[in-house]
A and B are shown apart, each in its own frame.
Chain A
């Protein structure tokens, strides 16, 4: 099973609406500058396989999520089977197997955060985004996900948005942060109403 049949990705991820022109020509590659970085990574480990997570990260940072074409790319580059790479992707929470919005908002709901208002934060964001946790906002700019303990317990409640932590939250602070991100996003958002698995 490979990802080269044109209709394949649409079949597997039919809930994500893709522009028709993309369906036929989807292959993934990293920009040429990335190749030097991959070579450097490969030099750090005695096996090619050990570069699997770092290379997957590079791809997700570039592409936004781990598509079947990304899996093909990584498998080929590291001489692994796509099954093995897919097995790795499905194991880790932070690798997305479906397209996500440009801003992924993780709300921590583990004990220390819940004691300090984590649930309030989630409820507020669900209302503001018009979606449940696990889904993308109606505006398409945010995907809201529940996180397990993010090692910020003394600064609870908090959220992680993409690579950044926003801690010691009040709803007022949180709204200001979201306002700030929205001000920088294109109108209409990048994807609409895609249901994503966190």
Chain B
């Protein structure tokens, strides 16, 4: 299945000079923008994207075609496209490869999208640490402007489009769409209350479509083969509303970590074994896998799907391992986790799950923007309790306390960061409760580290 799959999103990866306009164009880039802008109407383009059933690739999985449909600009309002390249979700490293390997296809996606939604300016917001990617994008934009593809009359069409990059400066929360808009406006990257949604009131108070890099980069492919055909590449049934192909990432204790393109709907087991090369050590089996970035609850290979009734959506997989359920936005929601960014973090039997959880809670505490008391205080409190579990000062009620804190964070904040922190915490506790109770009783051994399976390889001279 990996052998006969022909990549389309990553088709130009590995071609010498793929980041230059000359090489990219030779391999088809800008042909769809030309076709879309000169022979299609905005409504036709929006229709194809709807038919494609592409779920947002940034982690929330909201259908892009539906989001574009929310636009309803009033008299004198400018529409903006903002592309979210703030890739900061732990475990996630796929958008970076798109920017580095195929920047012109991203620009092409921006051109088609701007034309479709009536925007004349697109900002590609890229996290500040990816200075190299920003450089590549800037070079590509200079080439595109010189060719006239970006500018007053792209492909001769009287629809001016400018595309700019905008660098972040180190803040995970700026990946949240409204925080990103605030950051783009030159403010602290603090999320806004929704509604109003960006499509109504976004950047500079104007109607704005915010989409992930991979989502926009997929638009030329959708136009090229048509929304329905693109949708049909999924391995999921129609009822799951999840079309096409996507990028999967895999990291942690596997032999070939990396970014791989595959149809929507492969299983986690396939991702680990067929793409990730299988577990790093034969004698250290899979213990748990965070499926799609740190905000998604952890899966256990030895937990079985419980869907005994015909009406249960996961009934076809009743009794099978959690990692044998096809990966989709809605299948994973039914499973009690989230698909997120489809970038998996694989942990073998050497990993202590309290320590893994603590690592992630340190991340969330650091990254909370601090606006909302339940999140700001909750993140800190969760980490304090986990630190107590680790150093032996925990108490028997601590595990219940963790669950309590998490439950009181969710639903009580301006944005979903609190959910992003609380859900994985609850996932670890639910799936590995015994480890947490053991730690509450006696702490963790003082030499507990996460690198038991890889330390030798890093320390030993090559």
Binding site for B on A (CB under 8 A): 44-47, 49-54, 56-57, 78, 80, 87-88, 91-95, 106, 109-112, 114-121, 147-157, 160, 163-165, 169-173
Contacts and interface: CB of A to CB of B under 8 A. Distances in A.
A147 to B, nearest CB: 8
A148 B186 contact: no
Contact of B359 (A45, A95, A110): A110
Q: List the 10 shortest-distance A-B pairs measured between CB atoms, nearest first.
A: A93-B170, A52-B186, A92-B169, A117-B458, A94-B170, A153-B251, A154-B257, A163-B131, A49-B186, A112-B251
A111 B459 contact: no
Contacts of A170: 457-462
A163 B359 contact: no
Interface stretch (B14-22, B160-168, B302-310, B412-420): B160-168
B378 interface: no
A87 to B, nearest CB: 6
A172 B461 CA distance: 6
A151 B27 CA distance: 28
B170 A112 contact: no
A114 B88 contact: no
B450 interface: yes
Interface of B: 87-93, 95-96, 127-132, 162, 164, 166-172, 183-190, 204, 249-253, 257-259, 290, 294, 343, 345, 347, 351, 356, 359-360, 363, 366-367, 369, 449-451, 453-455, 457-462
B169 A57 contact: yes
Interface centre among B127, B366, B459 (most CB of A within 10 A): B459
Contacts of A173: 462
Given A53-B183, A120-B451, A154-B258, A44 B462 contact: no
13 contacts: A49-B186, A50-B186, A52-B186, A94-B128, A110-B359, A111-B450, A117-B451, A117-B458, A148-B363, A151-B95, A151-B129, A154-B259, A155-B257
A154 B452 CA distance: 18
Given A94-B170, A171-B459, A148 B250 contact: no
A115 B88 contact: no
B189 A91 contact: yes
A87 B188 contact: yes
A173 B169 CA distance: 28
Given A91-B188, A116-B252, 5 more contacts: A114-B359, A148-B366, A152-B93, A155-B257, A172-B461
B170 A149 contact: no
Contacts of B347: 115
Contacts of A50: 184-186, 204
A151 B92 contact: yes
B168 A171 contact: no
A164 B132 contact: yes
Contacts of B132: 163-165
A80 B188 CA distance: 14
Contact of A46 (B204, B258, B449, B457): B204
Nearest to A165: B132
A170 to B, nearest CB: 5
Nearest to B346: A115
Nearest to A171: B459
B457 A148 contact: no
Contacts of B343: 153
Nearest to A50: B186
Contacts of B360: 110-111
B252 A115 contact: yes
Given A111-B91, A151-B96, A164-B132, A117 B455 contact: yes
B460 A114 contact: no
B217 to A, nearest CB: 16
Interface centre among B130, B170, B190, B453 (most CB of A within 10 A): B170
Nearest to B204: A46
Given A53-B169, A170-B461, A170-B462, A151 B185 contact: no
Contacts of B162: 44
